[in-house]
Structure 1
């Protein structure tokens, strides 16, 4: 008979090792949360996001002595801490940074580094943690969530690294706002604007913007766009605001 997730026990894991593992992961979560909120403070620059990006890898290295008492799934009924928690927080912070900072123009070169990061991180996490537990349904959901989080982290990390190591000179363009709208969906609402073709962007493009930026602009406004080639050869651009 299969165990329900709430019936997972500590088993033979030494109590002191489990206690240290819990302390480590709680510390990692607290530090990650602090860094996530710090990432919204503009004057701190890229330091919070860059550090947050490294937290999951640091946790993997530091957690090596506790590899038998860590798990990868998020299970509130289990006594074992999850090594996936810092990765989830990093995904949230990277997503927020990506939305307010850049838009990728061409995604062709993003997939290979994304897959490499995902494969390496998945291998290390699975080697460091206990096998997926619980019922068959719970395992399937945990594996699906694990894949989504890892892909999100890897994709957003690649975007961020492409931005961080980009030493190319920005090229200035102007684009007209053709349309602005608020999109309502079952899960969330977001603001978007449609831009006329500009520079290397040969077609109309719709991008997501922050509510503040959305309120500041109007249709037929000219916006300043700064285009760069990207450190990983993934072209991206930033919409700065109205032309002065």
Structure 2
């Protein structure tokens, strides 16, 4: 809404804020698509890419709090108010996919506690003091919260990535032999079936990069490195002997 007085045109503050919020949300949506694609297709840039992908949902929450009257959190399209939903969705999916492919976790109990705790914390930030949900029935909260189930993947990707990237522990070293090669699988990543090593008393599967998969054959000997993890979540990786 624009009106005039004797000093010239004056912009309604609400309209100005709405347009600013709209531009910010469009920018975040575009940025999230680029960053999500970069993390999935260019893993060599992993430390920087993962930092940006982790940051975008946090920036979205900050935008929501700054422009609470002008920004939505639901997945509905073609409404007047812009939404941060899709900006959070794209990077969450990329973090989920990448972390499942890259990190082999030794113990999951603490990881899942942190994942669900972090997910609930984000949902609290999304709904707390949110004007659109102030007087809504519980089923409306539940519907929107359910649409954010991907935040479990975001939390998983964030915690496993930071647990590994920030880890400066000295690894425990074990040795094993490749028994079988699998291309694909439930994670969509190449993997090896290894003989027993360290805490793994039976045959076990480890996920590897495409290059490592191509460069190694059945009966090759490999090194397994177990790290403590920055958050106390043990994880392991495979190296050449």
Q: TM-score range by the shorter chain?
A: 0.7 to 0.9
Q: Alpha-carbon deviation of 1:237? A: 0.7
Partner of 1:24: 24
Q: 1:145 aligns with which of 147, 154, 159?
A: 147
Q: 1:203-242 deviations in whole A, cap 9, x for unaligned?
A: 32223444444333322222222210111111001123x4
CA contact (8 A) 1:60 1:128 kept: no
Q: Alpha-carbon deviation of 1:157? A: 1.4
CA contact (8 A) 1:179 1:219 kept: yes
Unaligned runs of 5+ in 2: 1-13
Give the RMSD, CA atoms, in angstroms: 3.1
| Corresponding position: 1:228 with 2:230 | no
Give the distance between the partners of 2:103 and 2:188, measured in 1 at CA: 20
Partner of 2:216: 217
Q: 1:135-170 deviations in whole A, cap 9, x for unaligned?
A: xx9987654331x21111112211122113312112
Decide whether aligned partners of structure 1 residues 45 and 17 sit closer, same or farther in structure 2, where only a CA change above 3 A counts: same
Partner of 1:198: 197
Q: Is the radius of gyration larger for structure 1 or structure 2?
A: 2
Partner of 1:85: 86
| Corresponding position: 1:107 with 2:108 | yes
Give the distance between the partners of 1:18 and 1:166, measured in 2 at CA: 42
Q: 1:45-95 deviations in whole A, cap 9, x for unaligned?
A: 512211321221122223323212322222234333222323222223323
CA contact (8 A) 2:184 2:191 kept: yes
Unaligned runs of 5+ in 1: 1-13
Paired residues, number: 223
Give the distance between the partners of 2:47 and 2:211, measured in 1 at CA: 21
Partner of 2:10: none
Q: Alpha-carbon deviation of 1:189? A: 5.0
Q: Alpha-carbon deviation of 1:194? A: 1.6
CA contact (8 A) 1:38 1:48 kept: yes
SS in 2 for 1:63: helix
| Aligned counterparts, 1:62-141, within 5 A | 62-127=63-128, 129=130, 130-131=132-133
Give the distance between the partners of 1:215 and 1:174, measured in 2 at CA: 20
Scaled by the length of structure 1, what TM-score is found? Answer: 0.76
